[in-house]
Structure 1
Amino acid sequence: MSEPSPTPVRRGRLLRFGAAFVVLLAVAGYLVVQYLTGSAAPRCLVVSGKDDGASYEFTPEQAVNAATIAAVGTTRGMPERAVTIALATALQESGLRNIEHGDRDSLGLFQQRPSQGWGTRKQIMDPTYAAGEFYEHLAKVPDYTSLPLTVAAQRVQRSGYPEAYAKHEPDAVLLAAALTGRAAGTLTCQGRPAPTATGGPDAVRAALVRDFGRDMLQTAGAEVVPRRPSPSPTATPQRAADDAVTIPVPKRSTASGTVRERGWELAHWAVANSTALHISRVSFAGREWSRGGFAGEWRTTGSGDGEASATEVRIVTGG
């Protein structure tokens, strides 16, 4: 006598379990791919260097603008407090986005107005110019480093909401500590660059000049070192441009702090620009950030060349 076939209820249960298992495998596979390739939605994170749990999550667009603001400040010899004030102001005025609209004729990161003498529309929409104008006005505020942030910012901006800057101070403090290099290994970005991202060593060097000025490359003597030959004539531009830009850090104290701080400033700048410039790896002082599964941390390289690596920042593009 043949064994009775499974009941409809049992068959339905088996089908449900099978479907659930397939869905579970699909989700697990998706998460593994996201982890290994870093292809999740791009985002950046800055954490406190004091192990107090403070953090701020932001977009790659905001990261590029924040890095520019910080670089312009340190290049002008402004202290970290000035960078904090500038970042908090831009967070309030534009959300760290270079917007083409605002109250009346206000524009850009700091919502500066052409009609009030801040510059032409084209100039104000250049983040480097806009940041420079902000610092120039801030430097004229007596004892601005000892003033409450909201007071110092208001002396420059003349905003109708002068107290609004204060709420952004905690996030600005974290960003300034990382982007001036004082807090080492505290800024990371995850997610693959957009297909339209402009990569390669030339793009990295042009961005360095844009934010730090031509003296950065002339003084540091940045070199381009090929990582490997182009795989083939049919390789994509990004894969073919898998090169490293090596930036020697000056062996002296600078206006932006110690040599080590200067190095971390450049390293964090590169990570902040990783999505826009198709940067895949950044290393400094025996630690490395790489796009992909470990993009949320700076790992110790264990290469044994910590002393040598503390004198140069290595930025790898492509991949």
Structure 2
Amino acid sequence: MRRFRRAIVAVLALALVAGAIYAIVAVLQRSETLVTERCVAVAGSDTHELATDQAANASLISAISVQRGLPPRAASIALATAMQESRLRNINYGDEAGPDSRGLFQQRPSQGWGTEAQVMDPVYASNAFYDGLVKVPGFETMEITQAAQAVQRSAFPRAYAQHEAMGRAFASALTGHSESSLNCELRMPEAAGDPAAVVDGITTAFGGHAATVQGRSVQLEVAGTQAWAIAHWAVANAKSLSITQVDAAGQTWNREKRDGWHASADPSEGVTITVSAPTT
């Protein structure tokens, strides 16, 4: 009888332990803190990863090339350059070779790139880089190292080459030439999004686009590469703008699902960007 009781107690104890483990695992699986935030661009069978702040900067640099009507190659060169110079971060310091270098492209006020405040402005810095790039004859067909060096005049000209594949993958997605090829895995937003901030961001990055705000969503009547450039820009900026869903050309990116782009139930054209609602 005692053996039977001990067996019952042992079984119950194991059941309690198993139940506790299951509950802990279930909680952990739902925990937002376990989500590793990142953005990934796919090019063929290759994937390239950036942190969310790097991807946001990459999206602005690429969007400005679209706004200027430059070929995707220009954005590839710019992204490889900015990755080498600043790790695609808007840093406010230089190095021994350029102590007054600043910003995404480490441009030097002492070398005529502009004031410190100007080169720390990502929009100004990106345009300044492209202003230099378009003066390089044949930059479209040059190796990235040659084109970047012609603009930057770096002490380490070959260093740009190591970022060529990353630059090409993100540029192709962010200029809209590769559909549904950029995904960001993010935690759910802690604050409500502002559709007006989304419109302002698009205007800064791409120039004027007719946008309609309906509730928590921003709708844009765009198509083709322009649609995918804006859609991927929205995904790359989803963290800072509390964007929860992007719909483009019959495809949907949903922040909560964290599984990339999928066919949408609504195959309509254009781009719709939805931000999070206020918590109650």
- On whether the aligned pair clears a TM of 0.5, the verdict is yes
Which residue pairs with 1:78 in the alignment?
70
Which residue of the other structure, out of 216, 220, 225, is the alignment partner of 1:247?
A: 220
Which residue pairs with 2:88 in the alignment?
96
CA spacing shift, 1:145–1:198, aligned 2, 3 Å: farther
1:193 and 1:276 in contact (8 A); partners too: no
Whole-Å separation in 2 of the counterparts to 1:116 and 1:3: 89
Deviations 1:125-153 (A, max 9, x none): 11111100000000011111111110110
Whole-Å separation in 1 of the counterparts to 2:40 and 2:167: 13
Q: What aligned pairs does 1:51-62 form with structure 2 within 5 A after superposition? A: 52=45, 54-62=46-54
Q: Secondary structure at the match of 2:41?
A: strand
Q: What aligned pairs does 1:192-271 form with structure 2 within 5 A after superposition? A: 192=187, 195=190, 199-213=193-207, 216-217=208-209, 221-226=210-215, 243-249=216-222, 259-271=223-235
1:194 and 1:275 in contact (8 A); partners too: yes
Task: Compute the TM-score of the two structures, normalised by the length of structure 2.
Answer: 0.90
Which residue of the other structure, out of 83, 103, 110, is the alignment partner of 2:105?
A: 110
Which residue pairs with 1:230 in the alignment?
none
1:39 and 1:292 in contact (8 A); partners too: no
CA spacing shift, 1:110–1:187, aligned 2, 3 Å: same
Deviations 1:44-100 (A, max 9, x none): 11112x3x2x00121110111000000111111111111100000011111111111
Whole-Å separation in 2 of the counterparts to 1:285 and 1:79: 22
Alignment length (residue pairs): 272
Which residue pairs with 1:231 in the alignment?
none
Matched, 1:130 2:103: no
Whole-Å separation in 2 of the counterparts to 1:193 and 1:200: 15
Which residue pairs with 2:274 in the alignment?
316
Whole-Å separation in 2 of the counterparts to 1:289 and 1:39: 20
Q: Secondary structure at the match of 2:80?
A: helix
Deviation at 1:198, TM superposition (A): 7.4
2:202 and 2:230 in contact (8 A); partners too: no
CA spacing shift, 1:313–1:262, aligned 2, 3 Å: same
Letter in 2 for 1:271: V
Which residue pairs with 1:139 in the alignment?
134
Mark the runs of 5 or more structure 2 residues left unpaired by the alignment: none
Deviation at 1:205, TM superposition (A): 1.1
2:40 and 2:184 in contact (8 A); partners too: yes
Which residue pairs with 1:275 in the alignment?
239
Deviation at 1:16, TM superposition (A): 6.8
Which residue of the other structure, out of 262, 265, 268, is the alignment partner of 1:302?
A: 265
Identity of aligned residues (%): 42
Task: Compute the TM-score of the two structures, normalised by the length of structure 1.
Answer: 0.79
1:38 and 1:292 in contact (8 A); partners too: no
Q: What aligned pairs does 1:144-155 form with structure 2 within 5 A after superposition? A: 144-155=139-150
Whole-Å separation in 1 of the counterparts to 2:103 and 2:192: 22
Letter in 2 for 1:301: S
Whole-Å separation in 2 of the counterparts to 1:38 and 1:283: 26
2:245 and 2:253 in contact (8 A); partners too: yes
Deviation at 1:3, TM superposition (A): 2.9
